[in-house]
Amino acid sequence: KGGDGKAYGYANTFYRAATLGDLVDDLNLTETLTANGVYDMRDRSGKITQYENVPVSLLLAILAANADAKNVADEVEPDRDFEVSASVDLVGCHYHAIVFSEDGYLWTNLLGSAQVFYVGTDTVRDFIETVTEHYEGSPYVPTPLDGLTDEIEE
């Protein structure tokens, strides 16, 4: 507690999980992770397809199956092909990302720093196929941020 009697939280942006399982355990993701939407960004022209109501259980299954994956953030900067907008209310992470690259990497910025794990091309392909074949996609249309209502003059 601070000198004023209030409790304050902080984010350790230097945190680095050794394995994907450590990240899951340290953030209690099996209980605290929510998925806000899934975005297919593989079209390099900028077209993005959005999928709603994709259950977080699909993501949690990947995290559990790859718990031993080592953090390779210092070695790789993967593409952003398929992104899950994710939140962990417990630690104040809202609308961060868990991103999959077609070359088999899972990348996240849940705590404000890059965490990268190799989960395999088959895992990523299966996740993408499950989402695109079983959930309805629609073109992503960016919306203004809440509270920003003034028009910008050109």
Q: Tell me what pLDDT residue 112 has.
A: 79
> Which percentage of the chain shows pLDDT scores above 70?
86
Quick: pLDDT tens for 60-104.
999 999 999 999 999 999 999 999 999 887 766 777 899 999 999
67 alpha carbon, distance to own chain's centre: 16
Quick: pLDDT tens for 29-54.
999 999 999 999 999 898 999 999 99
Q: Tell me the two tokens of residue 86.
A: 């994710």
More confident residue, 112 or 62: 62
Q: Mind giving me the DSSP string for 57-110?
A: HHHHHHHHHTTTPBB-TTT------EEEEEEEGGGTEEEEEEEE-TTSEEEE-T
Q: Tell me the two tokens of residue 122.
A: 């088959």
> Which percentage of the chain shows pLDDT scores above 90?
66
Half-sphere exposure (CA, 13 Å, Cβ side) for 46? 2
Q: Please give the average per-residue pLDDT across 13-33, as a whole number.
A: 92
